Amino acid sequence: MDGNGRWAKKRALPRAVGHQRGVEAVRRLVRALAPTGLECLTLYAFSSENWKRPDEEVDDLMNLMRRFIRSDLPEFVANNVKLKIIGDWQSLAPDIVAMLEDALAQTANGTQTLAVALNYGGQHEIARAAAKASAAGGGISIETIAAHLDTADLPPLDLLIRTSGEVRLSNFLLWQAAYAEMLFVDTLWPDFEPAHLTRALDDFARRERRYGGR
């Protein structure tokens, strides 16, 4: 979900406003999730590298997260959305961890999954999964690492979309993206609408997936 800062800069607004508008884009997608038939939508909300940003911006993002959980949790429940958190989220501030644990419990019976990557980095995830596989005594292999990924209980990644015109993965779902289709769009995240997702799914439906074969 890239482009919040540039969206704000183009309008001579504080970056915090861009992040707020980014949350509104998330709300629009969640409300439009049911008709898509998607099993799971995964959003990269806060990376392990985002801690390098100025303290003020990190504080704004954490406070925005708190407000989002409080205000939108009832809507998640009402729309049968199951929340899943990936990343090292349990090392966040204790009050945020408690709020997330409550949100996970309240949405456990949802029929469509919204996975949110918090304090997430793909390289860290693979390293953690390999360490868990080794500790479990089953040896390290593709299968044992996959079984210990944060996404082990989620469906395979089919389509990865990056907004804002940047053409790179930025440490997101590196393992899972091995055979995923990719789509890079110029739209800044705050301007991303459900119609953009619909067009992306239409584009995906027209692609022929070969998984290394002909």
Residues involved in catalysis: 2, 50
Could you tell me the two tokens for 152? 């082990």
Dihedrals φ, ψ of 30, to 5°?
A: -60, -40
CA distances from 3 to 18, 75, 166 (A): 8, 26, 9
Q: Rounded CA gap, 17 and 20, in Å?
A: 5
Query: b/e for 106-122, b at 16 or more Cβ within 10 A?
Result: ebeebebbbbbbbbbbb
User: How far is residue 213's CA from residue 77's CA, in Å, rounded to a whole number?
Assistant: 42
Locate all alpha helices (DSSP H) within the chain, ordered by sequence: 4-10, 15-31, 33-36, 55-78, 94-106, 122-135, 142-147, 194-205
